[in-house]
Structure 1
Amino acid sequence: MLRRLKFAPLSSFSVVSSSTAVANPATNPVKRERVSVVKGVDERTEEVSMLRLSVSDRTGERVKFGKVSSVPKMAETGLVGALQTCPSPHKQLQHQADDLKKKLSQRRFPLDPTHMQQMRSRIRKDIASKSMDAHDFDTPDMLSARKYVMMKEVDAEMKKKFVSWRPLDLNRRDKALTYALARFAPNLAAIKRVLVELDRDKNFVPQSVLDYGSGCGTTFWACEEKWPLRVKEYCMIDPCQEMNELAVDIMRTGKESGDLIHKNVNFRRSLPPTADRTFDLVVSAHSFIEMNSYDLRMDTLASLWNRTNKYLVLIESGLYDSFNAIIRARDYVLASGWEVKTEEAMQMLYEKNLLTPSIRQLLTRDERGFSERQRLHLLKEALPADVELPTLLPTGYVFAPCPHDSACPRTAVRKGREGRPCTTQIRWQRFRADGKTTRGDGTERETISYVVLAKGDRPADDAAALPRVIEEVNKSKGHANCTLCTAECGVRRIDIGKTRGKTVYQLVRGAVQGTLLPVNVDFHTGEIDDYDEGDDDYDVSEEDDHDNEKSK
């Protein structure tokens, strides 16, 4: 079927420079809609509402992500040189690395003792409901035997459902090199991908970097590639001495007696005892999974946050329990930054003669119905701007990927099932010690969960943060649909056609998972107008009819 082309009269065409067309839209022969009203489906409740999408002027917040990460040449040279220090054959190390990579890709976080006990109790009840009652046994010995059998059945069921967690043992040179061959390239790709988010802060260049769980030094290489020779100090923390020595050898580019490629890199096996020394950028990548309890992770997180001057980066795998651990860490920092230390605050305000009855009422939580976040906001409004209230942890906000500081909608239970992880895909060039080539383009992929937390209050102009595309965009002729995480409207699935605004449609169609979409999203409460797309090049509905006829 022929498309119905809509030509303007020949006299209406004129030669216009591109700069004039952009500066003066009225003279541009191609008018494009900048507002679109579409249906948005809440991912959790399936509630349908109308959303108003308008093109944002905050295009400076969009950043470009590299498609494929590769190991820097100097790091590759250093890693090859480090391999020469191990007597094990390279082929054997690579084979062990391939096995380790498979295990780590499905490695789960250790269950908390409370959660573990709840699961054992639930399994025990399920088994007991299918077996004979206790009164069917006559003697204490038979009851004791039954309890023993029950315990074995519970243990077997726990092993089926939950893989037992064990810490990584890398205290030998061959084991450290095996880990480096398995994870150097993907860990580097993950850190490089997350650091790109910091490009939104145009003036940020860290003067000091703390890497907790530094491993083979991937954070160092990612930072040096992004800010070459501009970071003045690195502090690398890893409890494994063998991994620290391997990281040093790689930084020497394979020369045993050579100097490090950076003059100020310090290695430690634990955090400094005091938090007086802060760092502009603190990174913890794939380290929380090495801690065997939630309390230990939160204590470490608090120590890292207290040592953060500007940004804290947390990265884990794309599995749901890793995503859940990231969200719990995010919520812990946010909630602790909103909770005021009542006694210290009252004493400080009393000494400054600022403790009014209304402020005392807010501090003592006599006013019901306020969350800790709302209470802190009301206190800051009532007090002078130079008064800083003491909180459990320094106040912060989510810089990326979330456009909000509220609870994550994806952790909520939907229809009796656990939530879905919010992940980002990374891609890297393979690096192998055995020189073996593989089919395809020589790249590998995996997903990660991450969060970037920033110190201080969320900027006032960031109240309407841009939404983030959290699923792959599905495209068809004249239509595109995607899933957005928004600042005010939750997680919404939208379906937009070309007839509902060409500019917004093109932005959605060209979006990539994990990137920001430069549109403002609001609930639409007015009437829904039928947009007149007289400036389209052709009738989209007729194009769709043509596609339907072809599919038949």
Structure 2
Amino acid sequence: MSLNKILISTRLLPQFHQLILKSNSRNVCKIAVNLDPELTEKLEKDELKHRHHPGIIKKGSLNVPKHIAQAIHRAVGDFPIKTLVKDGKVLNQYINSRHPPPETKDLQKKIQEISVELDLKYPMPDESELGEDELQKKNYIRQQKLKKILKERTFAWKPITYGAYEALVYAIGRSAQEYAAISSIFKEIENRHPEFKPRSFIDFGSGVGTGMWAASDLWKESIFEYLNVDSSREMNDLSDLIIRDGNANQKPRLRNVYYRQFLPSADTKYDLVVSAFSLFELPSAKDRKEVIMNLWKKCDGYMIVVEEGSRRGSEIVNEVRSNVLTSRDPDLVGHVFAPCPHDLSCPRLSEQGDNTPCNFNASYEPLGLGENISGNVTKRFSYVVLKKGSRKNARDSSWPRLVRPTLVRSKHSVCRMCTSKGTLLEIVFTKSKHGRDALRCARASDWGDRLPLEIGEQWESTKIHKKRDKTNSKETEMQDEVETISEKPN
């Protein structure tokens, strides 16, 4: 006998239906949005397509220029290419999973926690019952256990030393993905601020020159000076060789390119300041702050900081953001240009956050040296773009940023975004609630784009779904859906 017949026979079907209704009801927070008026007018006049709205960052596949890839191949020389590719993958995996060096206060906290655990697991006997030699032996054993556990729970950080071979490994294993990440950020600056034409460029931790390549692709005609700073002389040599197309006797493709192993002490200002995938090499938070504030003092336009898209990388970027924004020096006033639409604390890393990194994707095609790779892959990274001066009340400065992929469904789209109020918000866009234009703009946007709208008020609604009871009896069919929605606020 079926469950439905049993319920009918015992006259429990009405109660069973009510239980289903109750279990399938949920409270949904509806959010009003106001599309940008200028955009609305253009959409109504068919002057602009929804898929081309101004919040979309058209990146596509960001591939290393062919002459750069060819120069790297020439620079390899007699080194075994397959071994370089293999070692490049190992290096890339290590950097992706890297932690910053542990701070003294963090180590002390861990030592205290481990000591409490050892006290509970291995309680020390009364000292009066032990001789001096036996007591020293037990204390020694305890200290060894503590050191062993501390070593297991602490990331073994050490700086990476790059010689001639390691520099080639880095170029083959990392240059394509780093170029894609940096280039995507530069393209956003160019898209949102087309009048910006930098005259000078400085890159801290420049490596093989990926930041310089990306900057020259967009602003080659305006940049008059490139300064690359990297502690590895071999890295600088390889970077110089690459812009000479792999031939040391050839003239470099770019003008006025300079290399240093340390940041210059002069108070020279630069329009474009970059630190990409380099802060993990510094031994402490204090050193990172000193370097960042030094770079910020040299900045006369935009400062870009990029790190791995891991939780640790996102924390480092947020640390940079906090150090700059909390500075009390009136000459160092700045604001966040991207990705955040606010200067408040990061909602992802706050106590109310979801404890996931704030990161974004860039698509690129690998160099393909020594292996056949077809199609594009993605690089996940965390970044911040800081701009000198106070935040202006620009029309698009408060547009929310999509921080996760858009979920597109048949009659609605779900967008998860960071708002100008410093909060994470999820909006389910529908035609009936938000209008056709807002829905189509949401469907056309994706992770990393901005939505050209203002977030309005919220109103509560309760939506109850009923499941159809699939039985042979038509008399027991259930209603498809019952919906009660409170009135939208005026």
TM-score (norm 2): 0.81
Alpha-carbon offset, residue 238 of structure 1: 0.7
2:475 alignment partner in structure 1: none
Is it true that 1:54 corresponds to 2:54 in the alignment? no
Give yes or no for contact 1:480–1:497 (8 Å, CA) kept in 2. yes
Q: Compared with structure 1, are the counterparts of its residues 258 and 57 closer, same or farther at alpha carbon in structure 2 (3 Å cutoff)?
A: farther
Which whole-Å deviations, capped at 9, do the CAs of 1:509-530 have from their partners, x for residues lacking one?
22110111111113347x99xx
Is it true that 1:118 corresponds to 2:129 in the alignment? no
2:445 corresponds to which of 504, 511, 523: 511
Give yes or no for contact 1:49–1:523 (8 Å, CA) kept in 2. no
Alpha-carbon offset, residue 128 of structure 1: 2.2
Task: Give the partner amino acid of 1:82.
Answer: A
Secondary structure in 2 matching 1:458:
coil
How far apart, CA to CA, are the structure 2 residues paired with 1:519 and 1:210?
35
1:473 alignment partner in structure 2: 406
Is it true that 1:80 corresponds to 2:73 in the alignment? yes
1:255 corresponds to which of 247, 255, 262: 247
Alpha-carbon offset, residue 197 of structure 1: 1.9
2:357 alignment partner in structure 1: 421
2:320 alignment partner in structure 1: 329
1:210 alignment partner in structure 2: 202
Give yes or no for contact 2:102–2:155 (8 Å, CA) kept in 1. no
Secondary structure in 2 matching 1:521:
strand
For structure 1, the residue ranges without an aligned partner over 5 or more in a row are 1-46, 340-389, 529-544, 547-552
Secondary structure in 1 matching 2:34:
strand
1:151 alignment partner in structure 2: 143
Alpha-carbon offset, residue 142 of structure 1: 3.2
Alpha-carbon offset, residue 487 of structure 1: 0.5
Q: Compared with structure 1, are the counterparts of its residues 149 and 64 closer, same or farther at alpha carbon in structure 2 (3 Å cutoff)?
A: same
Alpha-carbon offset, residue 429 of structure 1: 0.7
For structure 2, the residue ranges without an aligned partner over 5 or more in a row are 1-26, 40-52, 462-479, 482-490
1:189 alignment partner in structure 2: 180
2:100 alignment partner in structure 1: 109
Task: Give the partner amino acid of 2:345.
Answer: A
Task: Give the partner amino acid of 2:36.
Answer: S
Which whole-Å deviations, capped at 9, do the CAs of 1:63-91 have from their partners, x for residues lacking one?
5332222110111121111111xx43122
Is it true that 1:228 corresponds to 2:214 in the alignment? no
1:346 alignment partner in structure 2: none
Task: Give the partner amino acid of 1:404.
Answer: H
1:455 alignment partner in structure 2: 388
Alpha-carbon offset, residue 161 of structure 1: 3.2
Which whole-Å deviations, capped at 9, do the CAs of 1:3-27 have from their partners, x for residues lacking one?
xxxxxxxxxxxxxxxxxxxxxxxxx
Give yes or no for contact 1:318–1:421 (8 Å, CA) kept in 2. yes
Is it true that 1:310 corresponds to 2:301 in the alignment? yes
Secondary structure in 2 matching 1:403:
coil
How far apart, CA to CA, are the structure 2 residues paired with 1:506 and 1:63?
13
The 5-angstrom pairing of residues 516-535 of structure 1 reads 516-524=450-458
**Count of paired positions:** 421
1:406 alignment partner in structure 2: 344
How far apart, CA to CA, are the structure 2 residues paired with 1:418 and 1:118?
24
Secondary structure in 1 matching 2:246:
coil
Q: Compared with structure 1, are the counterparts of its residues 131 and 173 closer, same or farther at alpha carbon in structure 2 (3 Å cutoff)?
A: same
Is it true that 1:97 corresponds to 2:31 in the alignment? no
How far apart, CA to CA, are the structure 1 residues paired with 2:396 and 2:36?
13
Q: Compared with structure 1, are the counterparts of its residues 489 and 97 closer, same or farther at alpha carbon in structure 2 (3 Å cutoff)?
A: closer
How far apart, CA to CA, are the structure 2 residues paired with 1:280 and 1:469?
28
Secondary structure in 1 matching 2:197:
coil
Give yes or no for contact 1:466–1:487 (8 Å, CA) kept in 2. yes
How far apart, CA to CA, are the structure 1 residues paired with 2:319 and 2:102?
14
1:301 alignment partner in structure 2: 292
Alpha-carbon offset, residue 127 of structure 1: 2.6
Q: Compared with structure 1, are the counterparts of its residues 139 and 511 closer, same or farther at alpha carbon in structure 2 (3 Å cutoff)?
A: farther
2:43 alignment partner in structure 1: none
2:58 alignment partner in structure 1: 65
Question: What percent of counterpart residues are identical?
Answer: 27
Which whole-Å deviations, capped at 9, do the CAs of 1:365-393 have from their partners, x for residues lacking one?
xxxxxxxxxxxxxxxxxxxxxxxxx53x5
2:432 alignment partner in structure 1: 499
1:437 alignment partner in structure 2: 372
The 5-angstrom pairing of residues 347-366 of structure 1 reads none
2:156 alignment partner in structure 1: 164
Alpha-carbon offset, residue 104 of structure 1: 1.4
1:353 alignment partner in structure 2: none
How far apart, CA to CA, are the structure 2 residues paired with 1:63 and 1:511?
6
Task: Give the partner amino acid of 2:196.
Answer: F
Alpha-carbon offset, residue 248 of structure 1: 0.4
TM-score (norm 1): 0.72
Give yes or no for contact 2:180–2:379 (8 Å, CA) kept in 1. no
How far apart, CA to CA, are the structure 1 residues paired with 2:133 and 2:368?
59
Give yes or no for contact 2:101–2:157 (8 Å, CA) kept in 1. yes
How far apart, CA to CA, are the structure 1 residues paired with 2:108 and 2:289?
21
Task: Give the partner amino acid of 1:486.
Answer: T
Give yes or no for contact 1:211–1:284 (8 Å, CA) kept in 2. yes
How far apart, CA to CA, are the structure 2 residues paired with 1:145 and 1:508?
68
